[in-house]
Amino acid sequence: MPASSAVWSPRLRFLHWALFIIIAAAVTCVLIASGYERGDPLKGQFMFFHKSFGVTALALMIVWVITRLNTGRPPPIGQAWQSRLATTVHWAMVVLVLALPTAGLLMSQFAQQSVSVFGLFSIPVWLAEDKVAAKAIHTIHAGYAGPILIGLVALHFIGALWHHFIDHDETLKRMLPGKTRQP
């Protein structure tokens, strides 16, 4: 069902919240893993889940992009500057959610590590070993892109709360799960 003039399509609302949960799980796993020493089996378990959630986020984001391009979006609510900022933040998050797992997969490739996705299937190694490339990608992935994504998600959340509590408009309500809302 395409987005109506007032609300997001149910499919896009589902994907929005599914992506939030999956990305939150991936971030939580990597933060917990960082508390363990290299070689600790628990670190390996949390990284296994981090990678699995990352691949899942990549797949869901691809579905989100295809769905969003085919269903459109309801018109923005608020001032023009809010709409421009929201559009910039949204598409930056999309790019990062596509780029971060792709970078993670490349890191694993260059480190000669296959990636098991929840034990259901594995992505085999098909690139030659390149420890320098793996380290450079890790620096960008963990040192820059990951924190930027977390910052953008926080900005997105603050914007939703701003619309709800300051502007008193329907921006947040039309993305909440549940029955289709018509303001």
**Torsion sign over Cα 88, 91, 94, 100:** negative
Whole domain around residue 150: which residue ranges? 10-175
Residue 61 one-letter amino acid: M
**Whole-number pLDDT of residue 5:** 54
User: For residue 48, is it within any domain?
Assistant: yes
**Whole-number pLDDT of residue 1:** 46
- Per the structure, the count of domains in the chain is 1
Helices 80-110 and 131-140 pack at an angle, to 10 degrees, of 160
**Whole-number pLDDT of residue 183:** 47
DSSP state of 16: H
From first to last of the 183 residues of the chain, give the pLDDT tens digit.
454 457 889 999 999 999 999 999 999 999 999 999 999 999 999 999 999 999 999 999 999 999 999 998 888 888 899 999 999 999 999 999 999 999 999 999 999 999 999 999 999 999 999 999 999 999 999 999 999 999 999 999 999 999 999 999 998 999 988 765 554
User: For residue 181, is it within any domain?
Assistant: no
Please report where in the chains the tokens 């910052």 appear, as a residue. 151
**Whole-number pLDDT of residue 72:** 86
**Whole-number pLDDT of residue 178:** 73
User: For residue 154, is it within any domain?
Assistant: yes
User: For residue 113, is it within any domain?
Assistant: yes
User: For residue 163, is it within any domain?
Assistant: yes
**Whole-number pLDDT of residue 154:** 97
Q: The tokens of 18 are what?
A: 């599914």
Going by C-beta distance under 8 Å and a sequence separation of 6 or more, which residues neighbour residue 152?
Answer: 89, 92, 93, 96
